[in-house]
Amino acid sequence: MSFQIKSFQEYKDNYKKSIENPESFWEEIANNFVWKKKWNNVLSWDFSKPEIKWFEGATLNITENCLDRHLETRGDKTAILWEPNDPKEGVIKLTYKELHSKVCAFANVLKNNGVKKGDRVCIYLPMIPELAIATLACARIGAIHSIVFAGFSATALASRINDAQCNVVITSDGSYRGNKTIDLKGIVDDALESTPSIQTSIVYKRTGAAIEMKANRDVWWHEELEKVNDQCEAEEMNAEDMLFILYTSGSTGKPKGMVHTCGGYMVYTAYSFKNVFQYEENDVYWCTADIGWITGHSYILYGPLANGATTIMFEGVPTYPDGGRFWEVVEKHKVNQFYTAPTAIRALEKQPIELVNKYNLSSLKVLGSVGEPINAEAWHWYDDNIGKNNAPIADTWWQTETGGIMISSLAGVTPQKPTFATLPLPGIQPVLMDAEGKEIETTEAEGRLAIKFPWPSIARSVYGDHQRYKDTYFSAYENKYFTGDGALRNKEGQYRITGRVDDVIIVSGHNLGTAPIEDVINEHDKVVESAIVGFPHDIKGNALYAYVILHDGVEGNDTLRLEINSQIADSIGPIAKLDKIQFVSGLPKTRSGKIMRRILRKVAAGEHKSLGDISTLLNPEVVDEIINGVLV
Ligand code: PRX
């Protein structure tokens, strides 16, 4: 692909062009891909509706770009390098030819099981090659994949299946995570009790656990494969046809299915992958995310594969068999680009340094960070100990909704600055908004981060609820996409993301909406009301602190805390568990009845001396009680 930016000057030139003439800029980039038919129009957009269309009239299949086009020149190159949970189990290397053949064969399995273009398929699998194969097989036949992270509970899985009305679910008998084996099929069975749209579940045998296969619903992956060949024509998709739905947290309990489409998503993920990570033909690239999150969709699968890269999929966890696992894998596979999350860096920083130093990390050329702001200490630890001050760090800011990396240095090409995501990628036009909702014109500023022009991989809608898409992202500021983040900009125009300004809290790099968790707590029959805030945590970045009001006469104790947390784990997943639960008699409220979360946040963070003016509260007396009972 001929769109690699190799110098800061080239970046500046490209950025300028992308702003002055976005259509011709993106058209030139799009010309690097295989289209069945080219577009009539590069871009049409109207943020007030909102309606955004890229490469209208064009047709393509993203798997032809990720697989078929490489067969001639890279057929025997490793596409996916799979590293198992247990290092004693062998690695799997799938070449582009092998991956192509497996994707086509499984696409035929889907067809045999009645899946058609436009159908929604839920994928609930661990990080095994079959997750990649199933995903690409959906794309091959034009089915819309909805991958649900396999750490979500049965209730969360069911609500996502129901929201998208999936007719097929793909799962495995179980999964391995560190020294644990998880009964994935059992979770799916529970979920399927309340998902009438599901006709079939396809089950891959991973652990060999004794599971129940339900007649007329459950089929084995390996048995279905015996019935098909590996020839499967790629479905012709319109550029604006849906490629996938991916759920993200929001301000209500209902999951928000972000819709991504085929053409623009492909162009932008491939372009950003190449430029941010400066991937070269024989490099081995490793992103440690799970494919159940957007990072895995865009930067384990689609972006790297569209570039013909070798991409690692890791089934395990950073601390198994010990805290040196990441570095062992880097040495073993001579990883060149390594992309992980600040929460993982902070956790590994706490391990004995010998677990880093015993491995040869000299293959590393580029380091990446994603998911939350990276604090200065973690940034320097990463730079000193992993990159040996010799591998540029790309701190990549983006979101499920943006589809691809928006603000980041291009590793080694544009300047880096600790704790700053730095500059926008070409085509991205960030703005900072002030408290009055006006765009801040000065370069050096702090405000709320919005984007004023569309880019190819912006989500097009919330599945089944376009109004919610409009309300969430396009109502805060006229004609702008609102990110939900705060940011500051220095005089060089570099951005530092300061964190969420809405009711989403980022815990260990995962987005958690406060409302859905509060809903679950409030369902407990001993609870009247609750409020959740984030508080700073050494490893997780933020952890959850809950203030809970109980019914009269009910005693708040540790048993109740365990019950509340297990209810959360069952309804959402263990990632949403609370670190601290304080029982209180009331919550500080404004005269209009709104909970003053600012106060709760300060108290939880141990900053009760700087609460500011609380005289406008309806019930200022509860503040003292809350301060006195704070859990440290
Ligand atoms: O608050 C920002 C934070 O993560 C949010 C998006 O979360 P999600 O949709 O789950 O996607 C995560 C992976 C792209 C953002 O609104 N965030 C993500 N990356 C960064 C970040 N905050 C600061 N710096 C980052 N590099």
Note whether residue 455 is domain-resident.
Answer: no
Answer yes or no: is the C-beta of 506 below 6 A from any ligand 1 atom.
yes
The mean per-residue pLDDT over the stretch 162-176 comes to: 98
Answer yes or no: is the C-beta of 542 below 6 A from any ligand 1 atom.
no
CA of 396 to the centre of ligand 1 (A): 8
Answer yes or no: is the C-beta of 370 below 6 A from any ligand 1 atom.
yes
Answer yes or no: is the C-beta of 408 below 6 A from any ligand 1 atom.
no
Ligand 1 site-directed mutation target among 265, 511, 575, most atoms within 8 Å of CB: 511
Q: In which domain, by residue range, is 423 found?
A: 8-450
Answer yes or no: is the C-beta of 577 below 6 A from any ligand 1 atom.
no
Residue with tokens 């600012």: 598
Q: What is the pLDDT of residue 233?
A: 98
What is the Rg, in whole angstroms, of the alpha carbon atoms belonging to the chain? 24
**Contact by Cβ (8 Å): 566, 603:** no
| CA angle (411 as vertex; 286, 497 as ends), nearest 5 | 95
Q: Which residues contact 477 (CB under 8 A, 6 or more apart)?
A: 433, 437, 450
CA of 449 to the centre of ligand 1 (A): 12
Are residues 426 and 545 both part of a single domain?
no
Are residues 444 and 515 both part of a single domain?
no
Query: Which of the four pLDDT bands, split at 50, 70 and 90, describes residue 249?
Result: confident
Instruction: Please tell me the residue having the least CA distance from ligand 1 atom 25.
Output: 397
Note whether residue 459 is domain-resident.
Answer: no
Answer yes or no: is the C-beta of 371 below 6 A from any ligand 1 atom.
yes
The mean per-residue pLDDT over the stretch 409-432 comes to: 98
- The CATH number covering residue 72 comes to 3.40.50.12780
Answer yes or no: is the C-beta of 372 below 6 A from any ligand 1 atom.
yes
Instruction: Please tell me the residue having the least CA distance from ligand 1 atom 14.
Output: 399
- Residue 533: Cβ-neighbour burial (10 angstroms; 0-12, 13-18, 19+): buried
Note whether residue 486 is domain-resident.
Answer: no
Are residues 435 and 512 both part of a single domain?
no
Q: What is the pLDDT of residue 355?
A: 98
Q: What is the pLDDT of residue 503?
A: 86
What is the number of domains present in the chain?
2
Q: Among residues 411, 434, 450, which one ends one of the domains?
A: 450
Reduced to 3 states (helix: H, G, I; strand: E, B; else coil), residue 371 is: coil
Note whether residue 469 is domain-resident.
Answer: no
| Percentage above 90 pLDDT, the chain | 94
On the question of pLDDT at 251 being above 80, the answer is no
Extract the tokens encoding 310.
């070798």
Instruction: Please tell me the residue having the least CA distance from ligand 1 atom 7.
Output: 399
Are residues 443 and 519 both part of a single domain?
no
Phi, psi of 563 (to 5 degrees): -60, -45
Are residues 422 and 516 both part of a single domain?
no
Note whether residue 3 is domain-resident.
Answer: no
Q: What is the pLDDT of residue 188?
A: 98
Ligand 1 site-directed mutation target among 245, 382, 399, 401, most atoms within 8 Å of CB: 399
CA of 354 to the centre of ligand 1 (A): 31
Instruction: Please tell me the residue having the least CA distance from ligand 1 atom 21.
Output: 372
Are residues 523 and 440 both part of a single domain?
no
Q: What is the pLDDT of residue 610?
A: 87
**Contact by Cβ (8 Å): 168, 119:** yes
Q: What is the pLDDT of residues 363-413, one digit of tens each?
A: 999 999 999 999 999 999 999 999 999 999 999 999 999 999 999 999 999
Answer yes or no: is the C-beta of 153 below 6 A from any ligand 1 atom.
no
Q: Among residues 406, 433, 450, which one ends one of the domains?
A: 450
Among 595, 506, 573, CA closest to 544: 506
Q: What is the pLDDT of residues 99-141, one digit of tens each?
A: 999 999 999 999 999 999 999 999 999 999 999 999 999 999 9
Answer yes or no: is the C-beta of 111 below 6 A from any ligand 1 atom.
no
Answer yes or no: is the C-beta of 248 below 6 A from any ligand 1 atom.
yes
Extract the tokens encoding 334.
């001579």
Q: What is the pLDDT of residues 62-71, one digit of tens each?
A: 999 999 999 9
Answer yes or no: is the C-beta of 126 below 6 A from any ligand 1 atom.
no
Ligand 1 site-directed mutation target among 506, 507, 508, 542, most atoms within 8 Å of CB: 506
Q: What is the pLDDT of residue 1?
A: 74
Q: What is the pLDDT of residue 612?
A: 82
Answer yes or no: is the C-beta of 290 below 6 A from any ligand 1 atom.
no
Are residues 518 and 406 both part of a single domain?
no
Q: What is the pLDDT of residue 439?
A: 98
CA of 489 to the centre of ligand 1 (A): 17
Q: What is the pLDDT of residue 254?
A: 82
Q: What is the pLDDT of residues 493-506, one digit of tens each?
A: 999 999 999 889 99
Q: What is the pLDDT of residue 547?
A: 97
Are residues 428 and 556 both part of a single domain?
no
On the question of pLDDT at 253 being above 80, the answer is no
Q: What is the pLDDT of residues 22-62, one digit of tens each?
A: 999 999 999 999 999 999 999 999 999 999 999 999 999 99
Q: What is the pLDDT of residues 286-342, one digit of tens each?
A: 999 999 999 999 999 999 999 999 999 999 999 999 999 999 999 999 999 999 999
Q: How far apart are CA 201 and CA 215, in angstroms?
A: 11
Cis peptide upstream of residue 84 (ω within 30 degrees of 0): no
Note whether residue 461 is domain-resident.
Answer: no
On the question of pLDDT at 170 being above 90, the answer is yes
Are residues 522 and 440 both part of a single domain?
no
Answer yes or no: is the C-beta of 500 below 6 A from any ligand 1 atom.
yes
Note whether residue 495 is domain-resident.
Answer: no
Are residues 375 and 514 both part of a single domain?
no
Instruction: Please tell me the residue having the least CA distance from ligand 1 atom 8.
Output: 399
Are residues 445 and 513 both part of a single domain?
no
- The CATH number covering residue 518 comes to 3.30.300.30
Are residues 232 and 349 both part of a single domain?
yes
Q: How far apart are CA 134 and CA 127, in angstroms?
A: 12
Instruction: Please tell me the residue having the least CA distance from ligand 1 atom 24.
Output: 373
Query: Which atom of ligand 1 is least distant from the CA of 369?
Result: 26
CA of 398 to the centre of ligand 1 (A): 5
Q: Among residues 435, 450, 465, which one ends one of the domains?
A: 450
Q: What is the pLDDT of residue 327?
A: 98
Mean residue pLDDT across the chain: 96
CA of 558 to the centre of ligand 1 (A): 33
